[in-house]
Homo-oligomer: A and B are copies of this chain.
Amino acid sequence: MKSYRKELWFETKQRRELLQITPQIETCIHESGVKEGLVLVNAMHITASVFINDNESGLHNDFKRWLEKLAPEKPYSQYQHNGVEDNADAHLKRTIMGREVVVAVTDGRLDFGPWEEIFYGEFDGNRRKRVLVKIIGE
């Protein structure tokens, strides 16, 4: 069994951003030499997500507006977690979007349907944060 590990770093300019990271994950699979196996891609921070959906900017705006409705940022005082921090909403938003994805590796590539793309979802940005890529297989 082979295993491979890499950290990807991101620093967004806005509090909330959705970044397409499929090419970086494809590169990791190529570097790993794994032909058949699984790749785990997870946010290493608890106010960020990794998820799979469509690379369409209108939909990304829909996601942001929808998350703001389900877990509003303000007023900050509505959350006990806020005080020293102001990011309670980011913990909730990341919960909706998910921490991680597990994707099949087949024939040395991401085994994806026609529109699947991997995204890093940042909900408390403006600082350096990490995604972990772990691949196991043969």
Contact = CB atoms under 8 A, between A and B. Distances in A.
Interface of A: 1, 3, 5, 36-38, 40, 42-46, 51-54, 56, 58-59, 61-63, 66, 70-71, 79-81, 83, 88, 91-92, 95-104, 106, 111-116, 130, 132, 134, 136-138
B58 A81 contact: yes
B95 A83 contact: no
B46 A62 contact: no
Contact of A130 (B66, B91, B113, B136): B113
A121 to B, nearest CB: 10
B45 A113 contact: yes
Nearest to A4: B36
Given A96-B95, A101-B99, A79 B62 contact: yes
Which 4 residue pairs are nearest across A and B when measured between Cβ atoms?
A: A44-B113, A58-B80, A104-B134, A3-B36
- Which of A46, A92, A111 has the most B CB atoms < 10 Å from its CB? A46
Contact of A92 (B5, B63, B80): B63
Contacts of A3: 36-37, 137-138
Given A37-B136, A46-B116, A97 B95 contact: yes
Contact of A38 (B38, B51, B138): B38
B102 A100 contact: yes
